Amino acid sequence: MIKKMFKNKTALITGGSRGIGAAIAVELAAYGATVIVNYRQGKDAAEEVCRTINEQQGNAFSCQADISVVAEIESMFDFVETKYGQVDILINNAGLEIRHPSTEYTEEIFDRILDTNLKGAFFCTRRALLTMKTAGWGRVVNISSVHAVRPTGNRSPYSISKAGLEMMTRELALEFSRYGITVNTVVPGAIRTDMNKGVLSDPVYEKRVVEMIPAQWIGETNDVAPIVRFLVSDEARYITGTAIAVDGGLML
């Protein structure tokens, strides 16, 4: 049964075709939001997420855009606002992680990671804030990572981008919370997603990860999605500028 918590609200999830983004899309749709599933290349996966939601009597639509390119962000918002109305809820979830020793990153790879994870999130938020401010209501949730504060090596641009995302959250919360807009960060720890499926397929690596987690198990995408749903609800109207870890205690 579709609940009505987010009736008449439109939620845009960047990178919503898989993993945490897909789980968030399903969660928000189950509570009545019209969900826009953004994807860069995974059209079939995005449409499958929408199909799952629509079969459960929700409302979901896919929208292609490479959020590392500001012009494509603007086109995406133009399309969404024309067809479905303003974006009330923005989930900056799209992310790119490429693992190398720091001395092996090229300028091109560094820029790809920062442009997707940080610049893209900023310019998506910038565009959404324009209509949220006019409406006097809005919710932005940035999906960060424990690597923003916990270095582990061989992913420095990714960690840098996520640390920047958390400061972006605080800056924008300070500036825009007076307009009925909250801006928060969710910080997943080790979660089973397509992004880390390769490394977690190695039993030795997985065992090493589990041993670092006080809870002693690796989370699932559905451990993250309800936290996001809470943060974009009116129940969380007095929470802004914060980062909530969903990590089994990994950052303790």
Q: Which residues are annotated as catalytic?
A: 158
Distance (Å) of CA 170 to CA 124, 153, 167, 213, 240: 16, 26, 5, 27, 8
Kind plus residue range of the DSSP H or E element containing 30? helix 19-30
Whether 221 and 193 have beta carbons less than 8 Å apart is answered as yes
3-state secondary structure of 152: coil
Whether 63 and 38 have beta carbons less than 8 Å apart is answered as yes
Dihedral pair phi/psi, residue 58, rounded to 5°: -95, -175
Residue 141 structure tokens: 């949730």
Cross-strand pairs, 64: 39
CA separation for the pair 159, 192 (Å, rounded): 18
CA separation for the pair 203, 75 (Å, rounded): 43
Residue 51 structure tokens: 């199909």
